[in-house]
A and B are shown apart, each in its own frame.
Chain A
Amino acid sequence: MRTLTMRAAILEALSEEMERDEKTVLFGEDVGKFGGINAVTKGLYEKFGNKRVFDTPIAESTIVGAALGMAITGLRPIPELQFGDFVGIAFDEIFNKLGKWRYMHGGSMEVPVTLRLPIGIAGGAGPEHSQSPQALFMHGPGLHIAIPSTPYDAKGLLKTAIRDNNAVLFFEHKVLYDLKGEVPEEEYLIPLGQADVKREGSDVTIIATALQVHTALDAAESLSKEGIEVEVVDPRTLAPLDKETILGSVRKTGRVLIVHEEPKTGGSGAELAAQISEEAIFDLQAPVRRIGGPDVPIAQSLHLEQFYRPSEQQIIDTVMELMEY
């Protein structure tokens, strides 16, 4: 099968869906002629013209608010925030509007917005350009949250997100843009709410998202040499959450480690751990463990940056500890 980078896979998904439906509109800061600061929208302006692909002023709340206005009047907007961290500027529009407009007005509208948000630590971008704010929105009813870890998942999930009649927040880890993976030529879709078991194992379940899926897989390889078989589950969407797959794996292994790059406190792992303890406490042989980023802002220094991201060694050590119980 051919391989593509995640950047190319996302671009392909955007292009295919824009070709498929002429009501799709793509916009954001520098997404047009420039092709996006992460080069994810390159060529779309040339292909679809300035009516369907346009650069906006630096005005995040307007970008998201306008997307809502377009969506409830028949378009399928695909806005981009240059950095996911900027959700703070558009927080009211995302949290109080995108996710609630349909519901709070009685249910007669559709909100087919796909908001793309690059996230993650990636080369000294500093405390306001490196964060992973997805957990904030698990707390906001009405929003779907997709967070792919492979080119294959990214393409299939994004196509579904664009066709979905609800608001989907689509988080893309910046480090993954250059990751290569198999992507079939033929069309496929991945439903929202279907986790993927990235590696089967019988001893410990690691639930990981985005870049951490790969760190977990590397750790699992090393642990396998020690005779410990780790199962790696990637939820792929945090909302809706595929509880069935997650709890199924937990019941099989009886040991859980959750890994994400977000600060540990109040991160998505906190919610996963709570749900697991609510529903599978008697299947557990050890406490649920979490590895997240430290609860401090992310330093600009490339040297310090590495200390914020969960490492393979941290995962290995924690799995070893879990095996002691």
Chain B
Amino acid sequence: MAEIYQKEINLRDYSKENLMAFYRTMVKIRKFDENLIQLMHEGKVSGFYHSGIGSEGLSAGSIVHNLRDEDYLYYNHRGCNQKIAKGVPLSKLYGDFLGTVEGTTRGLGAGIVHSADVSRGVLGQAGTIGSQFNIAVGTAYSAKFQGTDRVTVCYFGDGAAAREPLHGSLNWAGIYELPIIYICENNEYAISCHTSEMHAVKEHIADWADGYGIPNCVVDGNDVLLMHEVAKEAIERARKGEGPTFIEAKTFRHRGHFEGDPYDYVDPEVVKEWKEKRDPIKNFKKRLLENNICSENDFSKIDEQVDHEIQKAIKTAESAPLPGRERIFEGLFA
């Protein structure tokens, strides 16, 4: 059975700068999200949006300070979190939602799943959830084949973990000892269905990895530093050629599955509990304050900078033109 990952973390082992970078990324993700929802309310963005509010610690912790531009990443469908942590410019993401040529797809429009930023190793995702499982093993094979120490990180939800390709993917990763890290963002629900109703596995989703001989663990995904440590160990192992790791990170959705979801299938008390007691940003901030590492002023400075960055990004994205009809005929073939 999967072990629960625990580690004594001494804040003094991190530089203040590094700690603030985690905070900055988490705040950037949250504010990106809140502003996007605002744009949706203004009727400027159509389609589905899966808000990542509540799980910022998971993405920021695993990516910031761990992954380089040349490492490959497949995000999940709450994946603006991971794209932002990997450094994809906000204006490009907003551009994809607004359908202007500023977007990574130069105006095709992309929502969460179709944006890509090859220069930062963000290689895309698909509307059929869980599609990344199989593609990720190809990427990891490719990195190993070419003698690089690039790793592939594959994010997916607990619901997506029920897709058959996960097993094909784990089997390949195990056989060929691929440099790949599976990170299951277990927020307990797949739309309205609870994980326990959807998985025949005895205890943890991570237990599946055992069957493929892949090291695995369960971790508190809302603790940004714990997330950093567990991912760091897995990534180092992968870089050294020691193969794949499966991490199941526990978190929770603060909002419904998509914007407009009444979210009435979860006890409001439970949601409240997560929001108040287990908010990754709030908790991290409190910890840094209590340990006298940062002052309120440090945080408000970052908040302001991020607000400014976001407003600028939205402006850039909004003021870019919509593409003409000819755009739909571009880029099918190389």
Interface residues of A, Cβ cutoff 8 Å to B: 25, 51, 56-57, 59, 61-62, 64-75, 77, 92-93, 96-97, 101-112, 141-142, 165-166
Q: Please name 19 further chain A to chain B contacts, defined as beta carbons within 8 Å, in addition to the given A70-B139, A106-B331, sorted by A numbering.
A: A51-B145, A65-B133, A65-B169, A66-B135, A68-B135, A68-B138, A69-B140, A70-B138, A92-B128, A96-B126, A96-B127, A97-B131, A104-B110, A106-B105, A106-B115, A106-B116, A107-B330, A111-B334, A141-B332
B137 within 8 A of partner (CB): yes
Chain B 106-142, CB within 8 Å of chain A: the 1/0 string? 1010100011101000011011100101111111111
Cβ of B134: which chain A residues have Cβ within 8 Å of it? 61-62, 64-66, 68-69, 93
Contact of A62 among B103, B142, B172 (CB under 8 A): B172
24 A-B pairs whose Cβ atoms sit less than 8 Å apart in the complex: A56-B172, A57-B168, A61-B168, A62-B165, A62-B169, A65-B165, A66-B172, A67-B138, A70-B139, A70-B142, A73-B139, A75-B142, A102-B331, A103-B332, A104-B110, A104-B124, A106-B103, A106-B108, A106-B114, A107-B106, A109-B116, A141-B332, A142-B333, A166-B334
- Closest-CB distance, B73 to chain A (whole angstroms): 12
- Closest-CB distance, B34 to chain A (whole angstroms): 26
- Closest-CB distance, A147 to chain B (whole angstroms): 19
Contacting pair A69 B142 (CB below 8 A): yes
- Closest-CB distance, A236 to chain B (whole angstroms): 18
Closest 4 CB pairs of A and B: A69-B138, A65-B134, A107-B331, A62-B168
Contacting pair B105 A65 (CB below 8 A): no
- Closest-CB distance, A54 to chain B (whole angstroms): 8
Contacting pair B165 A61 (CB below 8 A): yes
Contact of B137 among A25, A62, A141 (CB under 8 A): A62
Contacting pair B164 A61 (CB below 8 A): yes
Contacting pair A65 B137 (CB below 8 A): yes
Contact of B124 among A71, A93, A101 (CB under 8 A): A101
Contact of B104 among A67, A105, A111 (CB under 8 A): A105
Contacting pair A77 B106 (CB below 8 A): no
Cβ of A93: which chain B residues have Cβ within 8 Å of it? 131, 134
Contacts A25-B145, A61-B168 known; A69 to B106 CB distance under 8 Å?
no
User: Which residue of the partner chain B has the closest CB to A101?
Assistant: B124
Contacting pair B138 A66 (CB below 8 A): yes
Cβ of A141: which chain B residues have Cβ within 8 Å of it? 332
User: Which residue of the partner chain B has the closest CB to A68?
Assistant: B135
- Closest-CB distance, B56 to chain A (whole angstroms): 24
Cβ of A67: which chain B residues have Cβ within 8 Å of it? 138
User: Which residue of the partner chain A has the closest CB to B134?
Assistant: A65
CA distance A25 to B145 in the complex (A): 9
Cβ of A107: which chain B residues have Cβ within 8 Å of it? 105-106, 330-331
CA distance A72 to B334 in the complex (A): 12
Contacting pair A65 B138 (CB below 8 A): yes
- Closest-CB distance, A56 to chain B (whole angstroms): 7
CA distance A112 to B138 in the complex (A): 13
B72 within 8 A of partner (CB): yes
B146 within 8 A of partner (CB): yes
Interface core residue of B114, B145, B152 (most chain A CB under 10 Å): B145
CA distance A22 to B142 in the complex (A): 12
Cβ of A69: which chain B residues have Cβ within 8 Å of it? 123, 134-142, 152
Cβ of B114: which chain A residues have Cβ within 8 Å of it? 104-106
CA distance A75 to B133 in the complex (A): 18
- Closest-CB distance, B127 to chain A (whole angstroms): 8
Contact of B131 among A65, A103, A105 (CB under 8 A): A65
- Closest-CB distance, B323 to chain A (whole angstroms): 11
CA distance A59 to B146 in the complex (A): 24
CA distance A40 to B115 in the complex (A): 39
Contacting pair A71 B138 (CB below 8 A): yes
Cβ of A97: which chain B residues have Cβ within 8 Å of it? 126, 131, 135
CA distance A97 to B134 in the complex (A): 11
Contacting pair B131 A73 (CB below 8 A): no
- Closest-CB distance, B138 to chain A (whole angstroms): 2
Contacts A61-B165, A65-B131, A103-B331 known; A72 to B139 CB distance under 8 Å?
yes
Interface core residue of B110, B115, B123 (most chain A CB under 10 Å): B123
Contacting pair B172 A57 (CB below 8 A): yes
Contacting pair A59 B332 (CB below 8 A): no
- Closest-CB distance, B182 to chain A (whole angstroms): 14
User: Which residue of the partner chain B has the closest CB to A105?
Assistant: B116
Cβ of B175: which chain A residues have Cβ within 8 Å of it? 57
Contacts A65-B134, A66-B172 known; A105 to B333 CB distance under 8 Å?
no
Contacting pair B106 A106 (CB below 8 A): yes
Interface core residue of A62, A97, A109 (most chain B CB under 10 Å): A62
